[in-house]
C-alpha cells in the first residue's frame, strides 16, 4: 500500500522531526510513504480568519497537490478535519470541484485513525517509562470523533502509563492566540494546571499546533515537562517536539 503524507505547514516548517517520525511509523506498519511536492498549507488559517476566497484557493491548490489516488495521511486532527468537512463546504457551489473534494475527503485520514482503524495496528514495540498525559485536541475529538485510537496507540508503549487530560481547549485557536492573547494564556494556564496537578511527565497529542502552545507554555513556566506528537513516541523518540 502507498500513502501520500500531507505533512501540514507547521510540521513541514517547524517540526520536521514529527514528519520523519510519522514516515518511520507508517513504514513500520507496512506502507510505502511519499511526500507530494506541491503541498503547502490546507488553508485553515485563512478560513478561520473569515477569508473564504483565500481558503478556497488553497483548498484547490491542495486538491491539485494531492491529486494522486493514494490514501492521504495527515498528522493533525485539525487539518484532517479541514479537508474532510470544510473543503466540501467551501466548494459546495462548484459541482466539479465538489466531486474532487469529496473524493479527497473520503481517502484522507488522521494519523492515529489510519493506524488503528484502517491498518489495524497499535503495537509498535516502543518503550517509555513515563506518565504520559494525552491531550485530546478539539478538532480531532469533536470534529473527527477520534479519541480511542490515540489512546490505544499509547497503551501499546511499554512502561508508559497514560492519563487522558480533560477535553478542554488549550487556548491555541490559530489567530486567536495572538488576537486574544490574554484569554488564550488563561486557557493555556488551565491546561498547564491540569498537567501539573496530575504528575504528568510528558504530554502527548496528535496536533502540533496545540502541542506548540502547551510546550511553549511549559518552557516559559520553567517546567521540565515536554510535549511530543504521538508519532514521535511510537518511533521511540525522546520527549520534546523538536
Partner 1 sequence: MTLAFRQRARQAIADPQLQRLLDQNADVRQQARMEALEELPQSGELRGRARSIRQQVIAELGAYLDQFGTRLAENGIQAQRAANAAEANRLILDIVQKHKAKLVAKSKSMLTEEIGLNAALEAAGIRPVETDLGEYVVQLRAEKPAHILTPALHLSTKDVAETFRRQLGASLGDDVEQINAEARSRLREVFLTAPVGITGVNFGVAETGTLCLVTNEGNGRMVATLPPVHIAVMGIERLVPTLDDLAVMLRLLPRFATGQAITSYVSLIHAPRRAGDPEGPTERHLILVDNGRSELASTPAAESLLCIRCGACLNACPIFREAGGHAYDSVYSGPIGAVLSPGLFGLEKYGHLGKASTLCGACTEACPVGIDIPGLLLNVRAEVEPKPLGRGLRLFSWVARSPTRFRWAQRTAALGGRLLARRAGWITQLPGPFAEWTHFRDFPPFASRPLRSRLRRARRPAKDRLPELEPEEVAPAAAQEAGEPDDRINRFEAKLKALGGEVIRCAEFEAADRIVGQLYVLGASRLLSWGPVEPILFTVLQRLEREGFPVVQPEVPEGARGTRAIRAFGEFPVGLTGAVAGLADTGSLILSGGSRRSLLPSLLPETHLAVVRSKDIYADLEGWLRAVGSPYVAGSSNLVLISGPSRTADIEMTLTMGVHGPRQLIVFLIE
Site for partner 1 in 194-213 (CB under 8 A): 212-213
State the Cα–Cα distance between residues 172 and 180, nearest whole angstrom.
10
Tell me: does residue 178 bind partner 1 (CB under 8 A).
Answer: yes
State the Cα–Cα distance between residues 22 and 20, nearest whole angstrom.
5
Q: Name the phi and psi angles at 62, rounded to 5.
A: -70, -40
Which part of the chain contacts partner 1 (CB under 8 A), choosing from 7-15, 96-104, 106-114, 195-203?
Answer: 7-15
Tell me: does residue 220 bind partner 1 (CB under 8 A).
Answer: yes
What are 110's three cell numbers?
488522521
Tell me: does residue 34 bind partner 1 (CB under 8 A).
Answer: yes
Q: Are 142 and 110 in contact (CB under 8 A)?
A: no
Smallest gap from residue 89 Cβ to partner 1 (A): 8
Separation in Å, CA 65 to CA 36, 72, 163, 216, 234: 6, 11, 38, 31, 28
Smallest gap from residue 123 Cβ to partner 1 (A): 5
What x-and-dash track marks residues 87-126 binding partner 1 by CB under 8 A? --x--------------------------x---xxxxx--
Tell me: does residue 219 bind partner 1 (CB under 8 A).
Answer: yes
Tell me: does residue 145 bind partner 1 (CB under 8 A).
Answer: no
What are 33's three cell numbers?
510513504
Tell me: does residue 136 bind partner 1 (CB under 8 A).
Answer: no
Tell me: does residue 69 bind partner 1 (CB under 8 A).
Answer: no
Tell me: does residue 236 bind partner 1 (CB under 8 A).
Answer: no
- Nearer residue to partner 1 within complex by CB, 97 or 177: 177
Tell me: does residue 169 bind partner 1 (CB under 8 A).
Answer: yes
Q: Which of 52, 71, 98, 131 is the binder for partner 1 (CB under 8 A)? A: 52
Q: Name the phi and psi angles at 95, rounded to 5.
A: -50, -45
- Nearer residue to partner 1 within complex by CB, 164 or 219: 219
Angle at the Cα of 17 from the Cα atoms of 192 and 122, rounded to 5 degrees:
80
- Residue 120 burial (C-beta neighbours within 10 Å; 0-12, 13-18, 19+): exposed
Amino acid at each position: 500500500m502507498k500513502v501520500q503524507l500531507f505533512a501540514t505547514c507547521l510540521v513541514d516548517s517547524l517540526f520536521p522531526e514529527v514528519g520523519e517520525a510519522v514516515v518511520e511509523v507508517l513504514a513500520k506498519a507496512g506502507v510505502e510513504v511519499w511526500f507530494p511536492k506541491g503541498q503547502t498549507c490546507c488553508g485553515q488559517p485563512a478560513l478561520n480568519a473569515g477569508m473564504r476566497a483565500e481558503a478556497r484557493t488553497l483548498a484547490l491548490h491542495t486538491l491539485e497537490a494531492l491529486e494522486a489516488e493514494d490514501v492521504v495521511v495527515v498528522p493533525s486532527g485539525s487539518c484532517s478535519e479541514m479537508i474532510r468537512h470544510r473543503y466540501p463546504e467551501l466548494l459546495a457551489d462548484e459541482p466539479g470541484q465538489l466531486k474532487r473534494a469529496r473524493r479527497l475527503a473520503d481517502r484522507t485520514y488522521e494519523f492515529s485513525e489510519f493506524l488503528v482503524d484502517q491498518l489495524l495496528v497499535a503495537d509498535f514495540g516502543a518503550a517509555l517509562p513515563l506518565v504520559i498525559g494525552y491531550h485530546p485536541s478539539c478538532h480531532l475529538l469533536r470534529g473527527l470523533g477520534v479519541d480511542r485510537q490515540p489512546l490505544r496507540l499509547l497503551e501499546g508503549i511499554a512502561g508508559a502509563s497514560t492519563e487522558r487530560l480533560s477535553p478542554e481547549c488549550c487556548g491555541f485557536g490559530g489567530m486567536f492566540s495572538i488576537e486574544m492573547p490574554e484569554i488564550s494564556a488563561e486557557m493555556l494556564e488551565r491546561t498547564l494546571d491540569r498537567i501539573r496537578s496530575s504528575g504528568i511527565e510528558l504530554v502527548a497529542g496528535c496536533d502540533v499546533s496545540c502541542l506548540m502552545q502547551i510546550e511553549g507554555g511549559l518552557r516559559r513556566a520553567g517546567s521540565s515537562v515536554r510535549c511530543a506528537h504521538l508519532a514521535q513516541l511510537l518511533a521511540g523518540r525522546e520527549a520534546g517536539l523538536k
